[in-house]
Copies of this chain bind each other. A is one copy, B any other.
C-alpha cells in the first residue's frame, strides 16, 4: 500500500533533507508527492527550462528508496508570466482582476495559459516521465477551489460565446432554450451574450447553469490537455491523477475523473476557522463520491490532514486518534493510498500555519507518533485491505449539474445543498448501510434501493434508468423538489413530482419555502405515530393518489396535509416532502430498507461501521467519531481485531475517536 507525505524540498533548507528522509523512513513512508506549485523553479523565464533543482530532489528521493508523485505546477502561474500576459488573470463578477500574489490566478479559458501549461507539462514529462521511481503524476492542484472556478474576463466571455455556438448551433436555438423572451433578452448576435457579471436583479437560470457547464468543461478540457501531454512521454505504468475538491463549484469532478487513472482527494475534515470537524457523514460521502466517480476504483488521499490547518485563521487541533480515525475511514471506503499533508510546516508563505506531521520546530512529537503507528499498521495490513471489496446495497444519486441549479436558486436563505444532501445520504450511513454514489449514466440494477435526494435539475438518462428500475421492482426514496427542472434549468410544466408522480402515487398541489427563522411541524401517522419532527426549508403539500401518508404537517393552514408518503408501486417509493430531522429520516429509511431487504445495524450516534469483503476474511471497521464519549456496540459474533490481535465479542466499548478493525 502506498503511504506517503507531501513534501516541499524547495521550502526546506537543504541541510535538513537527509534528516527528513530518515524521519520519513521511520514513519514508514514509501511515496512522496513533490513539485506542484514550483513553476518558476523549472521555468525561471519564458521558454527557459532549468530542472537542476528537481533533478537533485528526484535523485535523492530515489536514492533514499522513495517512489515519487510529481505535480505539474500550473496552479501557480509565475510572476513573469502574469506581468507579461495579464490576460491570463481571472476576473471576478464585479469586474475586479484577481491579482498575482497567491494561487489559482489564471482563467482556464486563456489560450495563452493553455499553451504555457502544455509546454511546462511536456517538459516535465520528458524529463521525468520515464524515471522508474516516478510512479504517478498529479495535474495542477484542486481545480476551481477557492472561487477560482468562475472567471468573468473578456477572454472568458469570448470563450463562452464560442462554447454556446458549439452547443446550440443557432441563436434561435439558444434563445428558444433559454427562454430569452423573458425580460427581452433575445440575442441577435453571439457577441451580445454576457458572462453573468453583476446585475441589479438575477441572471437567467438557464444562462447560469450553462455558464457553469462552460466553466466545468473548461477545466475538463484544460486537464485533458495536461493528461495528453503527460501520456505522450511518461512510462505506461505511471498513473495520472488530480486532487479533486467535491464542493458546489463549477467543476464537474466526475466528468473530469474519466480522463484520470485515479481520482485523488484532499481529505480535510476540519479547516481554519471551523470550530468543529465536519460531521462524519460528510466525510463518508466525500469518500463515496471519490470511489464512485471511477466506478468503484480505489482512490488516493493525496492530502490527508495531519495537523491544525489555516491561513490567517488557524483551526482546530486534531485530537489524539483523529488522524488514525480519518485515515481508516478513508481506507474503509476505498482509499488505496494515503499521503499526509504535510511532512513539515513551512516557515513562510500563506500556508505557514498549515501544520503537518512535524511542526516549525522540527521535532517529532504526538502527531509523528500517531502517523507512525498508522503507517506501521498499514504497511502490514494495507494491501490485504485494499484487495478486499466494498459492496453497496444502496445507491445515492448525485449530479454536479443539479448542485449548480440549487446553488443559483437555493429557495431559502437556510438552504445549503451539501448540508442537506449529506443529511439525506446520511440516513443510510447512520444505519450502517453501504452506499455508492450513482451518477447519471450509471447502472442501477445492482442496488436494492436508490436514494434520490433533492432531484431538482433532472437528467433524462437518469430519469429513464430510474423509471426502468422502478418498473422492475426497485425501491426508491425521493425528497422534496423532485422533478422540477429540465436539464436546461427550465421548469417542467407538470404537476410535481412530474414524471415520477405515478410511481410515488402522489400529487403536490402547493408548496412553501421556509426561511431560517421559520419551521413547521411534522407528525408521523400509522406506523410512525407519535414521532415528531420540525419541517424546515421546504414543505410540499401532498395529495396522495395511491400512496399512503407516513407523516403529516401539524401547523398553519396545511395542518393534516401529507408531508411524507410511501407508495407500493412494484417496489416501494417513498417521498419525503419536507426537510425533516435526522431522527425522522432514519425511521422512514429504516422501514424502506426493511422492505427492500437491506440489513441495517443499530449503533449509537457518531459510530460508523464499514464492512469490506476479503478473499479469506472480511474487515469490519468500527469507528467512533465522538471526541468525548465512549460508545458501546454489540457485535453479532466473535471477531479478531486486526492491529492488536485481540478478540472481541458481545458488547464492545469504543473509546472516543477509537477505530477497531474487526476481522471475521
Q: Which residues of A approach B to under 8 Å, CB–CB?
A: 8, 10-11, 37-41, 44-45, 73, 76-80, 82-83, 90, 92, 94-105, 146-148, 178-189, 191-207, 272-275, 308, 310-317, 319-320, 345-353, 359-363, 365-366, 408-413, 488, 490-496, 509-515, 517-518, 556-557, 627
Please give me the residue from chain B that is nearest to A484 by CB atom: B360
A207: chain B residues within 8 A (beta carbon): 101
| A8 / chain B contacts, CB cutoff of 8 Å | 182
* CA A204 to CA B11, docked complex, whole Å: 14
Partner of A203, one of B102, B148, B366: B102
Residue of B nearest to A13 (CB): B493
- Contact across chains for A38 and B181 when beta carbons are under 8 A apart: yes
Whether A184 contacts B490 in the complex (CB less than 8 A), given A104-B201, A192-B79, A513-B314, comes out as no
Contact (Cβ within 8 A) A275 B94? no
* Contact indicator A198/B99 (Cβ below 8 Å): yes
Instruction: Let me know if A314 and B98 touch, CB within 8 A.
Output: no
Closest B residue, CB atoms, query A490 = B348
Residues of B contacting A353 in the complex (Cβ-Cβ under 8 angstroms): 409, 411
Q: How far is the CA of A350 from the CA of B180 in the complex (A)?
A: 10
A223 CA / B137 CA spacing, docked (Å):
55
In the bound complex, residues from chain B placing their C-beta under 8 Å from that of A80 are 188-189, 192
The residue in chain B whose Cβ has the minimal distance to the Cβ of A93 is: B99
Q: How far is the CA of A80 from the CA of B184 in the complex (A)?
A: 11
Determine whether the beta carbon of A183 is less than 8 Å from that of B103.
yes
**CA separation between A517 and B319, bound complex, in Å?**
18
A207, A274, A310, A348: most-surrounded residue (chain B CB, <10 A):
A348
Selected A-B contacts with CB under 8 Å, 12 pairs? A40-B186, A80-B188, A90-B200, A92-B198, A99-B197, A102-B199, A102-B202, A178-B348, A183-B350, A204-B349, A310-B513, A347-B493
Please measure, in the bound complex, the distance between the C-alpha atom of A316 and the C-alpha atom of B517, giving whole angstroms: 12
Contact A311–B411 (Cβ < 8 Å): no
For residue A37, which residues in chain B have a CB less than 8 angstroms away from its CB? 182-184
Nearest opposing residue in chain B for A407, CB measure? B312
A366 near B11 with CB under 8 A, answer: no
CB distance from A554 to the nearest CB of B (A): 13
Whether A360 pairs with B312 at a CB distance below 8 angstroms is no
Q: Which residue of B lies closest to A78 (CB)?
A: B184
In the complex, chain B residues whose CB is within 8 Å of the CB of A183: 37, 76, 102-103, 349-350
Of the listed residues A76, A94, A104, the one surrounded by the most CB atoms of chain B closer than 10 A to its CB is A94
Which 6 A-B pairs have CB atoms at the shortest separation, nearest pair first? A179-B348, A182-B349, A102-B199, A99-B197, A76-B184, A317-B512
Separation of A511 and B272 alpha carbons in the complex (Å): 13
Q: What is the CA–CA distance of A409 and B351 in the complex, to the nearest angstrom?
A: 11
**A500: min CB distance to chain B, Å:** 14
A94 and B360 CA atoms in complex are apart in Å by 34
A312/B347 in contact, CB under 8 A: no
Nearest-neighbour CB distance to chain B for A173, whole angstroms, equals 14
Closest to A148 in B: B200
* A539 smallest CB distance to B (angstroms): 8
Choose one: B78, B200, B365, B495; the contact of A361 (CB below 8 Å).
Answer: B495
Residues of B within 8 A of A315 (CB): 513
| Cβ of A347 to closest chain B Cβ, rounded Å | 4
Supplied contacts A79-B185, A103-B200, 16 more A-B pairs, CB within 8 Å: A38-B184, A40-B180, A41-B181, A79-B187, A94-B94, A99-B195, A102-B203, A104-B201, A183-B350, A204-B350, A312-B409, A313-B513, A313-B515, A314-B513, A317-B510, A348-B488
Question: Which of B275, B361, B411 is within 8 Å of A313, CB to CB?
Answer: B411
Please state if B316 and A512 are interface contacts (CB–CB under 8 Å).
yes
Contact for A101 among B185, B188, B314, CB less than 8 A: B185
B-chain residues with CB within 8 Å of residue A187 when the two chains form the complex: 79
Residues of B within 8 A of A493 (CB): 347, 360-362
Contacts of A317 in B (CB 8 A): 510-512
Q: Which residues of B contact A273 (CB under 8 A)?
A: 413, 515
| Complex interface: chain B residues within 8 A of A79 (CB) | 185-188, 192-193
For A515, what are the chain B residues with a Cβ–Cβ distance below 8 Å? 273-275, 313
- Please give, as numbers and ranges, the residues of chain B lying within 8 Å of A409 by CB-CB distance: 311-312, 353
Instruction: Tell me, in angstroms, the Cα distance from A103 to B180 when the chains sit together.
Output: 12
Contact of A490 among B272, B274, B347 (CB under 8 A): B347
Is the beta-carbon distance between A518 and B275 smaller than 8 angstroms? Answer: yes
Q: Is the CB of A408 within 8 A of B312?
A: yes
In the assembled complex, the Cα of A601 lies from the Cα of B275 at a distance in Å of 40
CA distance A440 to B119 in the complex (A): 50
A195 to B100, CA, bound (A): 9
The answer to whether B494 and A189 touch across the interface, beta carbons within 8 angstroms, is no
Q: How far is the CA of A534 from the CA of B464 in the complex (A)?
A: 58
A475–B405 Cα gap in the complex (Å)?
A: 58
Contact for A312 among B202, B206, B272, CB less than 8 A:
B202
CB neighbours (8 Å) of A510 from chain B are: 317, 359, 365-366
Bound complex: CA of A474 vs CA of B79, how far in Å?
A: 49
Inter-chain CA distance A513–B365, complex, in Å, is 19
Q: CB-nearest residue of chain B relative to A361?
A: B495
A181 to chain B, nearest CB (A): 4
A83 touches B412 (CB 8 A): no
A488 to chain B: closest residue by CB: B348
CB-CB under 8 A from A314, the residues of chain B are 411-412, 513
Q: Which residues of B contact A184 (CB under 8 A)?
A: 37-41, 73, 76-78
> Contacting A346 at CB < 8 Å: which of B96, B182, B195, B411?
B182
Please name the residue on chain B nearest to A410 by beta carbon.
B312
Provided the pairs A95-B96, A308-B512 are in contact, do residues A82 and B198 lie with their beta carbons within 8 angstroms? no
- How far does the alpha carbon of A412 sit from the alpha carbon of B37 in the complex, in Å? 27
Q: Which residues of B contact A345 (CB under 8 A)?
A: 491
Are B179 and A346 neighbours in the complex by a CB distance under 8 Å?
A: yes
Measured between beta carbons, the chain B residues less than 8 angstroms from A180 are 40
**A192 touches which of B82, B92, B195, B275 (Cβ 8 Å):** B82
Q: With the chains together, A433 CA to B352 CA distance in Å? A: 38
**Do the beta carbons of A181 and B511 come within 8 Å of each other?**
no
B313 touches A199 (CB 8 A): no
